[in-house]
Structure 1
Amino acid sequence: MAEEIKLAVNGTLMRGLGLNSNLLNVGAKFLYEAATVPYYRLWSIDDIHPAMVRVSHGGIAVALEVWQVPPAGLVQVLLQEPPGLSIGKVMLDNGETVLGVLGEPVLCEGQREISAYGGWRSYCSALDEEL
């Protein structure tokens, strides 16, 4: 049996959010909450999902979750992600580097940067308060 893979998720795949069932349906298991090193920025894509991009300067630490995913399940989860999101290496503030969901820079063009919120959950909470 192939070793399961750690996957960092920063948006709708997180517990209780819209696409979390994509992880649960492939047998993924929640491991822990974490944050990235401060080399990332975050955008809201039409207030539907976020896109996290690694930057060379001006980054923040993004709040996320780390899940344990079966290898075959990782492929299925990726295929169900919105266009413009992909899997890449994400550096965590605990020193680990794991696979994670990243956005293509072109996806963020013309979208609202939400880095100041520190994560998707915080941004969504602020949106709810505005309504």
Structure 2
Amino acid sequence: MVYVKAGGAAIELEVWEMPTEKFGYFMQYIKAPLGIGTVWLDDGSWVYGFICEGFVAQSGEGVEDVTHTGGWLNYLAGKEAQ
């Protein structure tokens, strides 16, 4: 997910709960350009979630914008249907 000030769109997301003591273990499996950062929700609240480093998204190299699908799970379902 890449935050944009204008021209972006909301997508559906899943909110999961993880014990704090397991977070470090989980993080070792997240490879660049993915990271964990602040994701703002429509109601003004926020959660920590997957983000993409901005320089990668701006380069356009190897990046696919999935916003038009409405969310990651929809994107994956569309790939399976192909």
Which residue of structure 1 aligns with residue 41 of structure 2? 92
- SS class of match (1:64): coil
RMSD of the alignment, in Å?
A: 1.6
Which residue of structure 2 aligns with residue 68 of structure 1? 17
After TM superposition, give the deviation of residue 81 of structure 1 in Å. Answer: 0.9
| Mapping 1:15-54, distance limit 5 Å | 52-54=1-3
* Residue identity (%): 32
2:79 matched to 1:124? Answer: no
1:104 maps to which of 44, 53, 58: 53
**TM-score, with length taken from structure 2:** 0.80
Judging by fraction of residues, say which structure has more helix: 2
**Structure 1: any 5+ residue segments left out of the alignment?**
1-51
Which residue of structure 1 aligns with residue 6 of structure 2? 57
* Runs of 4+ residues over 2 Å off in structure 1: 106-109
**Aligned AA (1:114):** V
**TM-score, with length taken from structure 1:** 0.54
Judging by fraction of residues, say which structure has more strand: 1
After TM superposition, give the deviation of residue 59 of structure 1 in Å. Answer: 0.9
2:82 matched to 1:82? Answer: no
1:114 maps to which of 35, 44, 66: 66
Cα deviation digits, residues 23-52 of structure 1 (max 9, x gap) = xxxxxxxxxxxxxxxxxxxxxxxxxxxxx1
